[in-house]
Every structure is written in structure tokens, then in C-alpha cells.
Amino acid sequence: MIYIPFEIFSLSLIVLGLLFLLVLWFYYDRKEKLAFKKEQFEKAFYCIKCNHLYSVNQDVEVSDCPKCGYESGRLQF
């Protein structure tokens, strides 16, 4: 059997644990950024003709209302 000193063994366990946390951190950071990008892309529109509030998943400034077809401008905050 190969003899591994306790210090080396515990140190490698700590390094492995830190690596695991780092991988998890990168994974969730990426996931969150992707979700934020998707959310950012969604634009809100308000139709002044029929008071309908809706959102569109395209990067456009004007969109036709899905209810009445009236061209409405993007809501800006």
C-alpha cells in the first residue's frame, strides 16, 4: 500500500473541495447571465388604442398589437 502523509491527504481534499466550489460558481454564474440576457431582450409594449400591455421577444422599437393590430411604441422606463 502506498503511504500518503496526512498533511498531503488533507491538503488535496481541501484543494478538491475548492475546485468543486469553483466549478459550481462558474456554472451558476453562467446560467444567471444567460437568464439575465434573455430577460433583457424582452421588450414591453403598450397599445394606446385598446389599453393592451404585452411583451415581444424581439429587439424592435415598434410592434403591432396582438389584440387590435395597432402599431404601438416600446415602453421606456
Binding site for Zn ion (CB under 5 A): 47, 49-50, 52, 65, 67-68, 70
Q: How far is the CB of 66 from Zn ion (least distance, A)?
A: 8
Closest by alpha carbon to 66, among 17, 38, 53?
Answer: 53
Question: How far is CA 25 from each of CA 19, 22, 30, 50, 66, rounded to the nearest angstrom?
Answer: 10, 5, 9, 46, 41
Q: How far is the CB of 33 from Zn ion (least distance, A)?
A: 34
In the bound state with Zn ion, the residue whose beta carbon lies nearer, of 17 and 66, is 66
In the bound state with Zn ion, the residue whose beta carbon lies nearer, of 63 and 65, is 65
